[in-house]
Chains A and B, each alone.
Chain A
Amino acid sequence: MSFSLAQPVEVTLTADNNLRPEMFPAVNVQTAQQVGIARVGDNQTVTMEPSA
């Protein structure tokens, strides 16, 4: 059985839901590049020093 919603459902959270800030620890977002994960389209750029 499946359901589909014709209209977006809006959910409003209130204090009555007992949601506290500590339930949502800060999220540390890093880019894929920062954590060393290569993504399609990430170029690896090597900058050269001129020979002398």
Chain B
Amino acid sequence: MANFTFNVALGRETEFHNRVDNNDPANSALILMVLSAATIESDSTLKDYDTFAAILAISLEVTNAGYARKTLTDADIGPYTVDDSTNSITLPLANQTFAAIVAGNSWSKLVIGYDSDTTGGTDANIVPVVAQDLFIDGVATVPNGNNIIVAFPLGYCVAS
């Protein structure tokens, strides 16, 4: 298990982020989805998928009470930053709080995707961009009724 960029998004992470940040198109958004530890395919298999729908054909999204996907629009994210000393671009993301998540599924992986049109979009239209392990001390996060805060102190993606 590790963090990775989906093949379909290689080289496009920054532009997807920039699209949402600039509200262009107006209804674009980043979508945060959590995959369950109960049924999840390997990283090497997951990264081949081009849509959320393809991911969920086998792997399962968590169903804990209190959970809902997060939809982040231009108001929710900041611009990417260019670091000329490290020759890289960082995509920032504020801490994301999933409030009062009741026990049930263990949380294995967070998938951040790009939806160009949240008004008409379906899972078949959401492009997965990056996936990250939701591990605490090396194991999948076990919800216990409290808030789960996902922190991105170094950003959610660094392109170089």
Question: Is A17 located at the chain interface by the 8 A CB criterion?
Answer: no
Verify A44–B160 contact, CB threshold 8 A: no
Chain B nearest CB: distance from A22 CB in Å? 38
A residues near B147, Cβ cutoff 8 Å: 43-44
**With A51-B4, A51-B156, A51-B158: A42-B132 Cβ-Cβ less than 8 Å:** no
Interface pick from B21-29, B50-58, B66-74, B137-145 = B137-145
Contacts between the two chains (Cβ within 8 Å), count: 72
Q: Is the interface of B mostly helix, strand, loop or mixed?
A: strand
Q: Does B35 contact A (CB under 8 A)?
A: no
Q: Name the prevailing secondary structure of the A interface residues.
A: loop
B154 touches A49 (CB 8 A): yes
- Per CB-CB distance, the 5 closest pairs between chain A and chain B, nearest first, are A51-B130, A38-B144, A51-B3, A45-B149, A43-B147
Q: Interface of B with A (CB < 8 Å)? A: 3-5, 13, 90-91, 97, 107, 110, 130-132, 134-136, 141, 143-160
Q: Point out residues on A near B: beta carbons under 8 Å.
A: 38-52
